């Protein structure tokens, strides 16, 4: 059975986005958007990261790291911390950041 998709408007850093969402999951999407908005505002307010695209990348990396740690902690008896000096971890993070940068550039090009 096909799942119905509905448009949902979310507000992130005072900018409105319309997002396609499976019917019945609107509350979860709105909660997710609120979390992203809060995290982006927190990072922006530090003044250490300039530009919404960079702020979005930092938020995406932080949330992905949080999810990874939660996934690891539920799968392993003891969570293993991410070692940012480990060459493999650093390479993975750089790859993720490059993909996010590319996606943000495409998104910005489409929405400007």
Q: What's the pLDDT tens digit per position in 88-107? A: 777 787 788 878 877 777 77
Q: Is this structure's pTM higher than 0.75? A: no
DSSP state of 86: S
Residue 2 domain-assigned (yes or no): no
Residue 13 domain-assigned (yes or no): no
Residue 57 domain-assigned (yes or no): yes
Instruction: Tell me the average pLDDT across 30-47.
Output: 94
The total of structural domains in the chain comes to 1
> What band does 26 get if pLDDT is binned at 50, 70 and 90?
very high
Residue 22 domain-assigned (yes or no): no
Higher pLDDT pick, 49 / 91:
49
Is residue 78 scored above 60 in pLDDT? no
Domain with 81 in it: 49-110
- Compute, in degrees rounded to 10, the torsion defined by CA atoms 30, 100, 80, 31: 0
Residues 6+ apart with CB under 8 A from 40: 12, 13, 52, 55, 56, 59
Residue 5 domain-assigned (yes or no): no
- pLDDT attached to residue 102: 79
Instruction: Tell me the average pLDDT across 6-12.
Output: 96
Residue 18 domain-assigned (yes or no): no
Residue 74 domain-assigned (yes or no): yes
């Amino acid at each position: 059975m096909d799942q119905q998709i509905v448009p949902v408007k979310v507000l992130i850093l005072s900018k409105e986005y319309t997002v396609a969402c499976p019917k019945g999951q609107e509350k979860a999407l709105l909660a997710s958007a609120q979390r992203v908005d809060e995290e982006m505002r927190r990072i922006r307010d530090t003044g250490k990261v300039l530009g919404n695209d960079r702020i979005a990348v930092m938020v995406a990396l932080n949330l992905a790291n949080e999810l990874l740690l939660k996934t690891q902690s539920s799968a392993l008896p003891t969570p293993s911390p991410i070692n940012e000096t480990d060459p493999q971890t650093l390479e993975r993070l750089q790859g993720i950041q490059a993909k996010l940068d590319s996606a943000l550039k495409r998104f910005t090009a489409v929405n400007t």
